[in-house]
Amino acid sequence: MLHLHYRLELTEAAEADPAGFWAWAAEREKWFYEGLDTVLATRWYVRTVGTHVHALEHLVTFADEAAWGTYRRQVSARGRDRAWEQRRTEQSHWWRLAEAALLNDPPVAMGSDPTPPSR
C-alpha cells in the first residue's frame, strides 16, 4: 500500500470558527474524493502532542504507485474545470499545507489494528 500523507496547519479563520471549519471539512471530504476510485481509504487525525499541536494529519491510501498516478491525473483533469478548481482552492481559507510525503507499507506484515477508528 501507498499512503499520501499531509500535515495541514489550521488558519486563524479555522481556529476562530471551529464549527464552520469542521462542517466545511466534512463536506469537502465527500466532494473532493467522490469518483476517485483509486483512493482506497482516507484517514484524519488531530495532532495533540508535540510540535504543530492542533494540526491535521491526513492519509490517503492507494493500492500502489500506479493507482496514485491515476489519482494525480484525475485531480489534474478536474483542476482544469474553473468551478472545481475555485472550490478546491477555497481550502486556503481554512488550512495551509505544512508537509506532504509518500509512505509505503513495509515489505512484511507488521502492526496491529484490531478495532476500527472511532467516529
Q: Is residue 34 part of a domain?
A: yes
19-24: which pairs have CB atoms within 8 A and are 24 or more residues apart? 21/94, 24/94
Q: Is residue 70 part of a domain?
A: yes
Residue 101: exposed, middle, or buried by beta-carbon count in 10 A (0-12, 13-18, 19+)?
Answer: exposed
Q: Is residue 114 part of a domain?
A: no
Q: Is residue 119 part of a domain?
A: no
Query: Tell me, what's the pLDDT at 76?
Result: 97
Q: Is residue 118 part of a domain?
A: no
Output the tens digit of pLDDT for each of the chain's 119 residues: 999 999 999 999 999 999 999 999 999 999 999 999 999 999 999 999 877 788 999 999 999 999 999 999 999 999 999 999 999 999 999 999 999 999 999 889 888 877 666 65
Q: How many domains does the chain have?
A: 1
| Measured distance CA(60)–CA(21) in Å, rounded | 20
Q: Is residue 77 part of a domain?
A: yes
The residue range of the domain holding 84 is: 2-104
Q: Is residue 110 part of a domain?
A: no
pTM of the predicted protein model: 0.87
What CATH number should be reported for the domain holding residue 82? 3.30.70.100
